[in-house]
Structure 1
Amino acid sequence: MSSQLLEIKTAIQIQKPVSEVFEAIVDPAKMSNYFIAKGSDRMATEKEISWQFPEFDMVFPIKVNKVERDKAVSFYWDIDGRQTLVEISLQPKEHNSTLVTATEKDMINDEAGIKWLKGNTEGWANFLACLKAYLEYGINLRKGAFDFMRH
C-alpha cells in the first residue's frame, strides 16, 4: 500500500472452528442473523449476488471474486461509484478458534477516502463483532442497531 492509497484492516478471534465461521460468511441464511437482512444466493467464486441490509431500502450488488473453502472469501462492491475489494481470511488458531481478518482496499488518500476509511473501518469492526456474537452466543447484535439510519 502506497501512502497515496488507504486500506482498511480489522481482525477478531472467534471461539469456533474455521468451517463454522466460513459457513456463516458464505451462507446468506446465516449472514442474515448478524449482517444482512437478505442475500440472493450463497457466495461462490465469480458469482454475482445481491445483499439487502435491514437499515437500507437498496439492493447492493456483490461480485464474488474468489472463495476458498475454510480459508478465504473475496468480493467487490460499489462504494460511492467505485469498486472496492473486500478480502476476508480465516486462520485456524488454538482451541478450535478462528482468526478472522477483513481487509477492504483501496481508496485515494483524500477527504472522500478518509471519510470512507472512517465509516468502513467502523463497519468492518461491527461486522466482526456481530459475527462473533452470533457464532459464540446466538445473539444478533445488528437487529435494530441501525434503525436510526432509515430514511
Structure 2
Amino acid sequence: MKLTIKAKIQISKPAKQVFDAIIDPEKMSNYFIERGSGKMETGESVIWNFPEFPDDCPIKVKEIKPDNFISFSWDNGNVETLVSIKLDEVRGGTVVTVVEDGMENDEKGIQWLKGNTEGWANFLACLKGYLEYGINLRKGAFDFMKQ
C-alpha cells in the first residue's frame, strides 16, 4: 500500500490570487522557494531552488486548471511522487488542499511521510502568511539546515 500525505488550510483570499501565488515563481519566492525557472504550465518542466538545499529541484507539471487545480511530480530519493493542489472557493476565501503520494509503506516511506507532511504544512502556513499579511515566514526559518 502506498503512503499519502494530505494537508489543508483556508486562506482569506480568492482562488485566483492563491493560484497565481502557487504557479508564479516570483510570488513563490516570497514564501516557499528561493527562485524558479518559470511559471508552472501543463506539460512543462521547471526547476525550483530552495535556500536551504544545494541541489536543483526539477518539477514536471502534469496538469493545470486555472484557479482550481495544480499537479506535478518530483523526485523524492529516486522515487517520483505526485503532488496535487486543489483550490476550493468558500465563503471567506479559499480552501487549499495538498495531497502527495507515491511512496511505499516501508522505513524510507515513513521517513518521507514525516518530512513531507511537515513540509506541506509549512508551505500552507507560509502561503497564508504571505497572501494575508505580506510576510515571508520561511525567510531564515531553515538556515540551521544549510550545509
The answer, yes or no, to whether TM exceeds 0.5 is yes
Q: In the alignment, which of 128, 136, 142 is matched to residue 138 of structure 2?
A: 142
Quote how far apart the aligned CAs of 1:124 are. 0.2
Deviations 1:38-86 (A, max 9, x none): 0000000000110000111111110000000000000000000110000
Deviations 1:68-108 (A, max 9, x none): 0000000000000110000000000002x000000000211
> Residue 2 of structure 2 corresponds to which residue in structure 1?
5
Query: Any stretches of 5+ residues in structure 1 without a counterpart?
Result: none
Counterparts of 2:123 and 2:27, CA distance in 1: 13
* Identity between Structure 1 and Structure 2 (%): 59
Q: What's the TM-score once normalised by structure 1's chain length?
A: 0.96
Counterparts of 1:115 and 1:26, CA distance in 2: 27
2:113 match: secondary structure: helix
Letter in 1 for 2:22: I
> Residue 87 of structure 1 corresponds to which residue in structure 2?
84
Counterparts of 2:94 and 2:102, CA distance in 1: 25
1:33 match: secondary structure: coil
> Residue 70 of structure 1 corresponds to which residue in structure 2?
67
Would you say 1:99 and 2:80 are equivalent positions? no
Alignment RMSD (CA, Å): 0.5
> Residue 27 of structure 2 corresponds to which residue in structure 1?
30
Structure 1 runs of 4+ with >4 Å offset: none
Counterparts of 1:129 and 1:118, CA distance in 2: 17
Counterparts of 2:47 and 2:140, CA distance in 1: 21
| Contact kept in structure 1, 2:48 and 2:58, CA below 8 Å | yes
